[in-house]
Structure 1
Amino acid sequence: MNVEVAENGKGSWQVEMDGAYHVNFPCQAEAEAFAERLRVRLNAPHLLPEIYEACPDLPLDLGAN
């Protein structure tokens, strides 16, 4: 996911995610803090494959689009 911070031209700041989702903030510091926290969470290890292996009867198709 691409996460960008930009001034929105209305005196506030915006965090844009993949060009489709936007979150507005009143100042640049709050927008930057949110974007950094989001990046950390997105890059964190996720346990889905381990859970799936532990529960092979889950109705989950990992190859589905």
Structure 2
Amino acid sequence: MTEMPPLHDYIDPEILIKLAEQDTAGDCQVTFQFVDHQITVTQDVQVFIDGKLNRQTLP
């Protein structure tokens, strides 16, 4: 398995916290590149990797 760099090298974790705190109708999202993948996290905590839904909620 290939060693992955720390995620915080690619995005400030505070951005994701602020996204979750937004008082909007779920239309906010953050998209960023991580290694060779495009990651999108929506305000309602859906996680997309390369456009494919990977996780709908956090544990």
With the length of structure 1 as denominator, give the TM-score of the two structures.
0.31
Question: Which structure features the higher share of strand residues?
Answer: 2
Query: Which structure has the bigger radius of gyration?
Result: 1
TM-score, length basis structure 2: 0.33
